[in-house]
Amino acid sequence: MRHYRERRSRADVGLDRRPGDGRSTRLRQPDVDEALGCGVGVYQKVESGRLRPSPELFLRIAEALGFSPHDRRVAHLDLFGSEPPPPIGQPSPDWQRSVDGQREMMCVVAPNGKLVAYNVPFAAMFGDDDIPSNFWRWALLCDHARDTALRDWEQDWAPYLLEECRLLSFRYREHEAIRCLYLDLAEDPRLAMLPRVDADLNGRVGLLRHAEQGIRRVRIMAADSEGLRLLTFLPAGA
C-alpha cells in the first residue's frame, strides 16, 4: 500500500492542496483517511499491518490508491483467501469478435445484465423481435421469456437465473444498476413464489423456443471473464 500511496497526490484522490504545503502534493496517510471518510488513523493502521481491513474497505483503498488489477487480486487473496469481485468497467469491443467465431448460441452478459455481445445464432432465437438490451431483465421479468421462449420457466430457468442475480447483488453491493435490478426482482410476485436453489446456471439443461428451430433442449455452459458472464447454449440430448 505504501508503494502505491507514495505515487499518488491529493488531487489524485479528489482532495485540494493543503494550506502551507507549498509545492508538495504527496499523499500522506491522514489524507487517505480524509479521502475515504475513515476515522483518524485507520489507514495508518491498515498500512502498518496493525488493522486488517474489511473486504469493502480494502477495495475502497485499492481503488483510491490505483492498485493494478494484478496487485489487487494478490492482496485480496493474501488478506481474505479469495478473489476480489472483478471491477465493472467498459467491456472490450473484442468480445463481439470472440462470439462471432462461435457456432453455437452464445452471449456475453455484464453484471448489470447488459448484453455486451452476442452472435447470429443467439440473435436468431428472437426472430423478428428486438434483441433485449438486458439479459437478466428479459429472462426474469419479460412475459416473452416467461411464457414463450424459456419453457418450464418456473422450474428449469427462473430459480437458477434468480440465484445468479442474487450472487451479483452481494458481489457488487455498491453498484447502483445491480442494486436496482435486484430490488425489481425482489418485488415481482411471480419470482417471489419460486423455490430457492443452491446452484447457478452452469451445466443446467432446459428447453427453449427458438424462432427458427422451434423447441430445442440446450445445456448452458457458463464462464466468467473480466467480470462478464459468458453463456453458451449447446444442443443437449433428450
Per-residue pLDDT of the chain (238 residues; tens, 9 = 90+): 999 999 999 889 988 877 666 566 789 999 999 999 988 999 999 999 999 999 889 989 999 999 988 898 899 999 999 888 776 767 788 999 999 999 999 999 999 999 999 999 999 999 989 999 999 999 999 999 999 999 999 999 999 999 999 988 888 877 888 889 999 999 999 999 998 898 888 999 999 999 999 999 999 999 988 889 999 999 987 5
Please list the helix, strand and coil fractions of the chain in percent, rounded to the nearest 5, in that order. 45, 15, 40
Q: How far is CA 238 from the centre of its chain?
A: 33
The answer to whether the beta carbons of residues 185 and 203 sit under 8 Å apart is no
Q: How far apart are CA 151 and CA 155, in angstroms?
A: 9
Kindly give, in sequence order, each residue whose CB lies less than 8 Å from that of residue 94, ignoring residues fewer than 6 positions away.
none
Looking from the CA of 63 toward its CB, the CA atoms found within 13 Å total 15
Q: Which tens digit of pLDDT belongs to each residue from 36-67?
A: 998 899 999 999 999 999 988 998 999 999 99
Provide the β-strand partners of residue 107: 118, 231
Q: Pick the closest to residue 213 from 235, 237, 190, 186 (CA basis).
A: 235
Sheet order of strands, 205-210 included: 115-118, 105-109, 228-235, 214-225, 205-210
Hey, what's the cell of 146? Answer: 416467461
- What is the DSSP code (8-state) at residue 136? H
